[in-house]
Structure 1
Amino acid sequence: MLLGIGLVQVGVVSGFTFLSLRLIDLGGGPTEIALAAGVSAIAEIPTIWLIPRVIGRVGLRALLVGGILLYGLVMLTWAGLADPALIVGTRVVSGVAFAGISVGAVMTIAALLPPELQATGQGLNQTVSFGLAAIVANAVGGVVYGWGGALPLFLGCAALAGVGAVVTWRAVPARASAGPLRSRP
């Protein structure tokens, strides 16, 4: 599972990092860059609140892989869209997808590991997702963006999401149970 999440997060982090450059290349400025980050974050909040209901309907594995595929689709649009306003609009969808990936990964680890390994599992998830993936995403992403621009970068990010979705689907059992879910504390 960590391999799948790692592949996805390389794409997600690289996409987020270089989306600002894409917006500038298309004539956007600080306003569009700030909106792109803010819109995504705002979309995550209600999505996180609704995730227990989604898991109840489709299951934990489908939530996680669905979030991955949705984010991959968004990164694919970033490769082709030429209007900063449209790209900012896609950030609503990427916020929903990121919430699914983030919460889905944490809940999957919680469902798969025994209590005595929870801290280790969550620590490894964070290390892979936001440590190793960020290093690879920014180093390789910088080379790719500098060499070929947005098209190969975002197509590569979308491809990583696709491969990560397949790896995650195969690694996470369909029976992975999220346990009792609450939509409110």
Structure 2
Amino acid sequence: MGSLRQAIQASSAEDAAQAAAKPSSVAREVFMLRLFMYVIYTTQAIVVSYFPLYFLDRGYSAGQIGIIYSTGPFISIFANIIFGTASDKYRTIKKIMTLLMFGQLVMVSLLFTTDAFVIVCVIMLAFYFFQMPVNPLSDSLILLSSQFTSKPYALIRVFGSLGFAFSAFLVGQLLKWTGSAATIPLAICSIGLALLLSFTLKDYQGPKRKVDFVGFLKIIRQPSILTYFAIVLVVSIAHRMYEGFLVVTMRELGADDSLVGIAWMISAISEIPVLYLLGKYGHKFKELPLLAIASLMYALRFWLIGEISSPGWIIPIQAMHSITFGIYMVTALRYLSRIIPDEFRSSGQAVYAIVWSGIAGAISGTAGGAVYEHFGKTAFFHLATALALIASAAFWFKYYRNQDG
């Protein structure tokens, strides 16, 4: 969070040194960054796609899995602040990234020691404490590296999407033969590799900057911004409900682990062309109508999942990830950057991250898990559908009322 502000500029001395860097050094750094992104997103593919199945096979209920799932978004609110501030204060991303990988490795290893639900919750809470800040810090590292490598952010970050997609598929194929017991050893291997790779990264640095708490408070007090974040929260809860219980739903429908991997691979790959098109042509379209359309497509996606009875139908439904999350993610941040003054931009992004990852994830995991356990799949996804429809209508209302979309 706070570390993203490091990416704005590097010191003049570092710029001079970077400008004189050898092409071979630049090529090596680009390769290592891409490999590092691939590996950390491999870990995320395992955690998101297969940890729920691992806990399901350990005998946990949907409600218990929801509680475990909600610990990550909850702790992310504090973890991002702590490690982002530490990155700003000590002007290092590499060392903090190494610490995060070591912490993840220790916590995942502890899952071998117990099946007690309360203890597992504590372990996963600690694991997410070290895992959730990885994305914003890695984004900062890529942005800072561009001044040294001259490689755009997207050309390095896309390897993360590729890592998630292919790893989700390959891990699924492997678990089909080995069973879910291999999930934790695979996670240990991917985290261990990421830990080793973290030592090879160049530690780019930006200038020290204070966290703008005054700007933060000023942002959240503006009624128009509060309205926007409220709508974002509604659709975010629906998205997190879907994301958190997709694999549970697939297992309930009779899907094996390989089909789960294919489903996640399809969703990750589908967003790549949409992200490219929005990056090139998205500025030609109004943001609020695009957000309304994305929310409407979310509603259709959730309704279809709630109605199907065969796991095979989830594959084409997962391709809708491109016109739901793909559009929503880029457009929501673009609209945010337009309505918030530059001096409060970091604070606005911080609020967005807390709403999207923290609050929405905690609500969807706890309340959503209870709904799924007591009322079943259909009612669960119908609730997500209703939330997405409410968000779509709210985006349209905000657009027509203000005509500022």
- Please say whether Structure 1 and Structure 2 have the same fold, judged by a TM-score greater than 0.5: yes
Residue 268 of structure 2 is aligned to residue 41 of structure 1:
yes
Check whether the contact 2:289–2:395 (CA below 8 A) recurs between aligned residues.
no
Show structure 2 runs of 5+ residues with no match.
Answer: 1-227
Are the equivalent residues in 1 in contact too, given 2:238–2:384 (CA < 8 A)? Answer: yes
Shift of 1:42: 0.7
The Cα of 1:55 is off from its aligned counterpart by 4.5
User: Letter of the aligned partner of 1:103 in structure 2?
Assistant: V
Identity of aligned residues (%): 23
In structure 2, C-alpha distance between the alignment counterparts of 1:119 and 1:32, rounded to whole Å = 40
User: What letter matches 1:148 in structure 2?
Assistant: F
- Length-normalised TM-score, structure 1: 0.89
What is the aligned partner in structure 1 of residue 289 from structure 2? 62
Correspondence for 2:363: 136
Q: Distance in 1 between matches of 2:378 and 2:390?
A: 18
- In the TM superposition, what are the counterparts of 1:25-104 in structure 2 within 5 Å? 25-51=252-278, 52-56=280-284, 58-104=285-331
- Say whether 1:19 aligns with 2:282: no
Question: Could you tell me whether the CA contact under 8 Å between 1:3 and 1:164 is conserved in 2?
Answer: no
Mapping 1:166-177, distance limit 5 Å: 166-172=393-399, 173-176=402-405
**Residue deviations 1:84-120, cap 9 Å, x none?**
1111211111233101111111001011111011111
Deviation at 1:170, TM superposition (A): 3.0
User: Residue 33 of structure 1: CA displacement?
Assistant: 1.5
Matched to 1:53, the amino acid is: Y
Q: How does the TM-score come out when normalised to structure 2?
A: 0.42
Comparing both chains, which one has the higher relative contact order based on Cα–Cα distances under 8 Å and sequence gaps of 6 or more? 1
CA distance, structure 2, for counterparts of residue 55 and residue 76 of structure 1: 30
Gaps of 5+ in 1: 177-185
- CA distance in 1: counterparts of 2:403 and 2:260, whole angstroms: 38
| Distance of 2:237 and 2:293 partners within structure 1 | 17
Aligned residues: 175
Deviations 1:46-88 (Å, cap 9, x if unpaired)?
10111142451x4211111111111111001000011211112
2:347 alignment counterpart = 120
RMSD value over aligned CA atoms? 1.4
Selected match of 1:151 from 353, 358, 378: 378
Q: Does 1:10 align with 2:237?
A: yes
Which of the pair has more CA radius of gyration? 2
